[in-house]
Amino acid sequence: MFAIGRHPNVTGLGLEKAGVALNPRNSGVAVDNFSRTSAPNIYAIGDVTHRINLTPVAIREGHAFADTVFGKRTVEVDHTNIPTAVFSQPEVGTVGLTEEAARAKYSHVDIYKTAFRPIKSTMSGRDTRVLMKLVVDGATDRMLGCHVVGDSAAEIIQAVAIAVKMKATKADFDATFALHPTAAEELVTMRTPTARHVREAAAE
C-alpha cells in the first residue's frame, strides 16, 4: 500500500489579492484557532487549511465558525485526540498519541500490547489476528492513545475515543467489565505493561 498524501488546491483563487496568506509549513490557507484567515471577515475550514483532512473535522470546524460568527457563542475546535481509521484488510483504528509521540512529550510512558486470535476466528478455523496497544502516562495513569489492527478496528476506536477525550485512566479501563466473548474485551483486561519508558533526565 502506498500513501503519498495530498495538497490543498488553492491556486487560481486570487487569495493574494484578497489578502489571504498561506501557511508556509503545509501549503494550506493560514488560519488561527478560530479558522480566521489573515484577511478581515474571511474564514477557512476543512481541507483547504490542510490541518486534518477528514470530513467530520471539516463539519466540526463549520459548526464552530457558525456558532462563533452568527451564534454569539465563541467556539474553538480542539484538534487533539481525533479518531482515525484505515479501512484496509485488516482495518486500522487509532486515537491519541503514538508510543513515539508520547515518549517525546511525557517523562514516563507505559505500554500495554497484545496480539491474539479472537474467539470467533478460532471457532471458525480462521487465522485472523488482532493487535491492540494502549499508551498510558505512567505518572498520572491517564490514557494517552489506543491503537487497534484487526476486524472492526474502526468501530472499536470510535467508542474508545470517548474515553480518551474524557481523560480516562488505565484504572478506569481496568474497572470496566469485559464483554465476553469479544475482541474489544482485551482493552479492559490487559494488566501488565509490556514496556515502561522513563526518560533519563526524569529518572535522576
Active site (catalytic) residues: 180
Cβ count near 127 (within 10 Å) = 7
Place of cell 513515539: 100
Phi, psi (degrees; rounded to nearest 5) at 86: -115, 120
Edge to edge, the sheet with strand 108-116 lists 84-86, 92-96, 143-149, 130-137, 108-116, 195-198
| Contact yes or no for 156/185 (Cβ under 8 A) | no
The cell for 116 is 491474539
